[in-house]
Structure 1
Amino acid sequence: MKFLAITLIVHTPHPATGVVQSTTERFREVLDNAVLAEELGFDGFGVGERHEWPFLSSAPPVVLSHIAALTSRIRLFTAVTTLSLLDPVRAYEDYATLDHLSGGRLELIIGKGNGAAQRELFRVTPEDQWARNAESYEVFRRIWREDKVSAVTRFRPGLKDAEVWPRPLQRPVRVWHGSATSKESVELAARYGDPLFSANVTHPIEPYAELIRHYRERWRHYGHDPARITVGAGTAGVYVARTSQEAVAAYRPVFEGNLALQKSLGLEPVFTTLDDFVERSSALVGSPQQVIDKVHRYHEQFGHTVLHLHADAGGLTRTRHHDSLTLFQSEVAPVLRRDIPDPPFPWGPVLHAPAPAATPLAR
């Protein structure tokens, strides 16, 4: 099993002190956490993309490029690239550049994105978001693979023998499809034979397990090799301590801060008590053995081989955050790496170029 640390770069007051970091301090914290993740042995570090308050993650290729300069081994993920909002040509240019600057350490998780404010900012409607996401991905995918692209498009100017530079280092880049509650992302991933990354952060396990089962069914429908199917899954939070009592007590301010944030955003919390959150959500809060057991329970339903944890301290002190991730890597990760297989592909750059395949957009 592989492990990622991921941040959406939430920028809100500290849940216990009410102190708000400056924007510069918050970005510096993200960079420090990325370096820490590499030092502790995480396999990847991810930066989300959101274009609304309270997030500072509107430019993940910029942040990841800085992280690439500070690290040497860890793979760099987007979580997620909101292709429904982006011009796929510009997105390709940004990420092909990052691919070279990182030495081929880039992996993308794509999705339509969430949030009414960012839809309004980019003049995207709920009705056309999925169509935009699918079209942008098809264009992006072809540009990455083909030296010249012609395409008739609905949501951006068409392309005629277009050459887009720089040509990428990885041929092709690995693209995961982020899935929360809708079958559209699952369908797109299965159609192209791409890996799926389940958000797995808001609800109990059942709706996510149902979508992953649907992904496996559609994968078979499209005739892909069953041995190549790959699923990743998120977690709603993490705090590993020597005892469950210590873990729950230390995590309480994080939970209460997140609960207050959800209410401020007008969201209806699914888990309204910490006990329910620890028991029924995907959060990994407890002793090392409790965390191992919970990941195994989820693996029985998902069959996932990649797991993401929160990179941010949230309401934890920096020392507790560091100690929790250290304990995870020293006592939890080795057991899960032994018990659960890795993804069925090399965890590194893909530097060969397969023959391009025609798509519905080719003309």
Structure 2
Amino acid sequence: MKFIAITLILHRPDPLTGARKTTHDRFREVLGNALLAEELGFDGFGVGERHERPFISSSPTVVLSHVAALTKRIRLFTAVTTLSLLDPVRAYEDYATLDHLSDGRLDLIIGKGNGAAQRDLFHVTPEDQWDRNAESYEVFRQIWRQDKVTAATRFRPALTDAEVWPRPYQRPIRVWHGSATSKESVDLAARYGDPLFSANVTHPVEPYAELIRHYRERWEHYGHDPARIAVGAGTAGICVAPTSQQALATYRPVFEANLAFFKQAGLPVVFETLEDFVERSSALIGSPEQVVEKVHRYHERFGHTALHLHADAGGLTDVQHRASLELFQSEVAPVLRRGIPDPPFAWGPVLPASPLTQESVRV
């Protein structure tokens, strides 16, 4: 099993102290968390994309380029690239450049994105967002694979023998499809034989398991080898401590502060108590043994081989957060790596059999 630390770069007051970092300090914190993830042995570090408050993750390519310059080994993920909002040509240019700068350490997780404010910002409607997402991905995918592209498009000017530069480093880049609530993203992933990444954050396991079952059914419907399926899944929070009592005591103030925030903001509350949150959500809160058992329980439903954890402290102190991640990597991750297989592909750059690039072939 592979482990990815992910941040959406949420920028709101600390749930316990009420203090909010400056934008500059919040970005520096993200970079520090990326370095910590590599230091502790995580397999990937992901940055989300949101174009509305309270997030400041509108430019994941810029953030990940800086992370690429600071790190050596860890793979870089988007979580997610909101292709329903983006021109696929411009998105390709940004990500192809980042892929070169990171020496092919980039994976994409794509999705339509969510939130009315960012839809309004980009003049995307609930009625056309899925069509936009599919069209953008199909054009993006074609550009990554072909030197010249012709595409009749609805949501951007058509392309006729268009050349887009730079040509890619990875050939092709691996693209995961983010899945939260809809069968459209699941079907798109299955159609192209791409891996799926379930959000698995807001609700109990059932709706996410149902979407993953549908993905597997559609995968076989499109004629792909079931042995090549790869599924990732998220988690709703993390606090690993030597005992369950310590984990609950450490996380309880964070949960109660977040619960109060949700209620005050009029947001839906799914889990009313910490005990219910620990039992029925995907949060990994408990002793190492409890966390291992919970991941295995979810694996029985999902068959997932990649797991994302929160890169941010999220209300824990920096000391508490680091101690939790260290305990996860020392006592949880090794057990899960032995018991759950890796995704059915190499974790390194996706490169062609020939060492020659298309540029050198043309010379």
Give the TM-score, by structure 1 length.
Answer: 0.96
Q: CA deviation at 1:265?
A: 4.9
Q: Write out per-residue CA displacement over residues 187-245 of structure 1, whole angstroms, 9 at most, x where no aligned residue.
A: 00000000000000000001111110000000000000111001000000000000111
Structure 1 equivalent of residue 239 of structure 2: 239
Moved more, 276-285 or 264-273: 264-273
Q: CA deviation at 1:143?
A: 0.3
Q: Does 1:253 align with 2:253?
A: yes
Contact 1:145 / 1:353 at 8 angstroms: preserved in 2? no
Matches within 5 A, 1:72-87: 72-87=72-87
Moved more, 15-24 or 282-291: 15-24
Which AA in structure 1 matches 2:200? N
Q: CA deviation at 1:351?
A: 1.1
Structure 2 equivalent of residue 358 of structure 1: none
CA distance in 2, matches of 1:353, 1:147: 18
Matches within 5 A, 1:183-198: 183-198=183-198
Structure 2 equivalent of residue 203 of structure 1: 203
Structure 1 equivalent of residue 360 of structure 2: none
Structure 2 equivalent of residue 219 of structure 1: 219
Structure 1 equivalent of residue 284 of structure 2: 284
Question: Between the two proteins, what is the percent identity of the paired residues?
Answer: 81
Matches within 5 A, 1:87-106: 87-106=87-106
CA distance in 2, matches of 1:117, 1:140: 25
Structure 2 equivalent of residue 267 of structure 1: 267
Which AA in structure 1 matches 2:84? S
Q: CA deviation at 1:259?
A: 2.6
Query: Structure 2: 5+ residue runs without aligned partners?
Result: 355-363
Q: CA deviation at 1:353?
A: 7.5
CA distance in 2, matches of 1:147, 1:283: 44
Matches within 5 A, 1:136-147: 136-147=136-147
Which AA in structure 2 matches 1:38? E
Contact 1:172 / 1:353 at 8 angstroms: preserved in 2? no
CA distance in 2, matches of 1:258, 1:96: 38
Moved more, 340-349 or 246-255: 246-255
Query: Structure 1: 5+ residue runs without aligned partners?
Result: 355-363
Q: CA deviation at 1:94?
A: 0.3
C-alpha distance 31-98 of structure 1, shift in aligned 2 (>3 A): same
Q: Does 1:59 align with 2:59?
A: yes
Q: Does 1:342 align with 2:342?
A: yes
Match of 2:50, SS state, is: coil
Q: CA deviation at 1:262?
A: 3.4
C-alpha distance 147-123 of structure 1, shift in aligned 2 (>3 A): same
Q: Does 1:28 align with 2:28?
A: yes
Q: Moved runs in structure 1, 4+ residues, more than 4 A?
A: none
Q: Write out per-residue CA displacement over residues 245-277 of structure 1, whole angstroms, 9 at most, x where no aligned residue.
A: 110111123223333443455420111211110
Which AA in structure 2 matches 1:192? Y
Structure 2 equivalent of residue 150 of structure 1: 150
Q: Does 1:39 align with 2:34?
A: no
Match of 1:307, SS state, is: strand
CA distance in 2, matches of 1:144, 1:251: 44
C-alpha distance 138-266 of structure 1, shift in aligned 2 (>3 A): farther
Structure 2 equivalent of residue 360 of structure 1: none
Structure 2 equivalent of residue 333 of structure 1: 333
CA distance in 2, matches of 1:161, 1:262: 50
CA distance in 1, matches of 2:120, 2:286: 40
C-alpha distance 283-220 of structure 1, shift in aligned 2 (>3 A): same
Structure 2 equivalent of residue 175 of structure 1: 175
Structure 1 equivalent of residue 357 of structure 2: none
Which AA in structure 2 matches 1:230? A
**What is the alpha-carbon root mean square deviation over aligned residues?**
1.1
Match of 2:186, SS state, is: helix
Match of 2:232, SS state, is: strand
Give the TM-score, by structure 2 length.
Answer: 0.96
Q: Write out per-residue CA displacement over residues 307-337 of structure 1, whole angstroms, 9 at most, x where no aligned residue.
A: 0000000110000000000000000000000
